[in-house]
Amino acid sequence: MPDTPSYEEAREELVEVVRRLESGGTDLEESLALWERGEQLARVCQEWLDGAKRRLDAAIASGDDAEDDS
């Protein structure tokens, strides 16, 4: 994914988006844009977490295989 923010960057921006939505004071158009951006950022964060879980599962599985071979 080109120009995909890191997990930390996406999470930080998502927190800011949520803060702005919760504080109110934005018109409907801006609120919808913030909501859409928040959904995008939540997907990016979930993709990072899913990838990290796959890597951990693979590492654990390869560690289990190494133990079985000994």
Query: What is the tens place of the pLDDT at every residue in 10-68?
Result: 999 999 999 999 999 999 999 999 999 999 999 999 999 999 999 999 999 998 777 77
Structural domain contains residue 48: yes
Q: What range does the domain containing 39 cover?
A: 7-69
Output phi, psi for 5, to 5 deg: -70, 160
Using alpha carbons only, give the angle 45, 54, 68 rounded to the nearest 5 degrees.
Answer: 160
How many domains, the chain?
1
Nearest CA among 1, 66, 10 for reference residue 43? 10
Structural domain contains residue 31: yes
Residue 17 · residue 37 · CB < 8 Å: yes
Helical pair 28-69 and 7-23, crossing angle rounded to 10 deg = 150
CATH number reported for the structural domain that contains residue 52 in this entry: 1.10.287
Structural domain contains residue 35: yes
Q: What is the overall mean pLDDT for the chain?
A: 93
Structural domain contains residue 57: yes
Structural domain contains residue 1: no
Predicted local confidence at residue 2, as pLDDT = 60
pTM for the model stands at 0.82
